[in-house]
Amino acid sequence: MVHVTLKLFATLSRFTPDSGDRYPIAPGTTVKHLLEKLGVPEDDVRLIFINGIKGHLASTLTDGDRLGIFPPVGGG
């Protein structure tokens, strides 16, 4: 197993697992796989960041990665 840090923003925060700051995943897990496992609806995923740089659903996660996910946000 490898571990990633997860931060789900705004409406997605309710999908954050208890161990979000050190979440175990199998090597080779993609963002898409992880979000499916957490039950995050793909339509609500707008911005994916891995270690502060824009990523994609198909991006593969590696040990120590920081993953951040934003839903669409438009208020003011």
Partner 1 sequence: MRTQIIEKLKAISRPKKYPDDTDYTSISLENIPSLATSFKVDSRKIEIIALEEGMVPERYARNMKTFSPEDQASLLKSQVSIVGLGGLGGTVSEILARTGIGTLNLIDGDRFEASNLNRQFLSTYETMGQYKTEAAVKRIKEINASITVRRYDEYLDDKNSDALIRRSDVVVDCLDNITTRFILENASKKAGSPLVSAAVAGLSGHITTIFPEDQGLKLIYGRPDDLKSKGAEASLGCLPSAVSVLAAFETAEVVKIILGRGPLLRNKLLIIDLLDNITEVLDLL
Burial class of residue 23 (count of CB atoms within 10 Å of its CB; 0-12, 13-18, 19+): buried
**Contacting range for partner 1; rule: CB under 8 A; set: 6-14, 22-30, 31-39, 56-64:** 6-14
Say how far apart CA 15 and CA 10 lie, in whole Å.
Answer: 10
Which residue lies nearer to partner 1 by CB, 1 or 18?
18
Q: What would the x/- binding string for partner 1 be over residues 15 to 54, using CB under 8 A?
A: -------------------------------xx-x--xxx
- Rounded Cα distance between 24 and 2, Å, is 6
Please give the residue ranges that form the binding site for partner 1 (CB under 8 A).
7, 9-13, 46-47, 49, 52-54, 68, 70-76
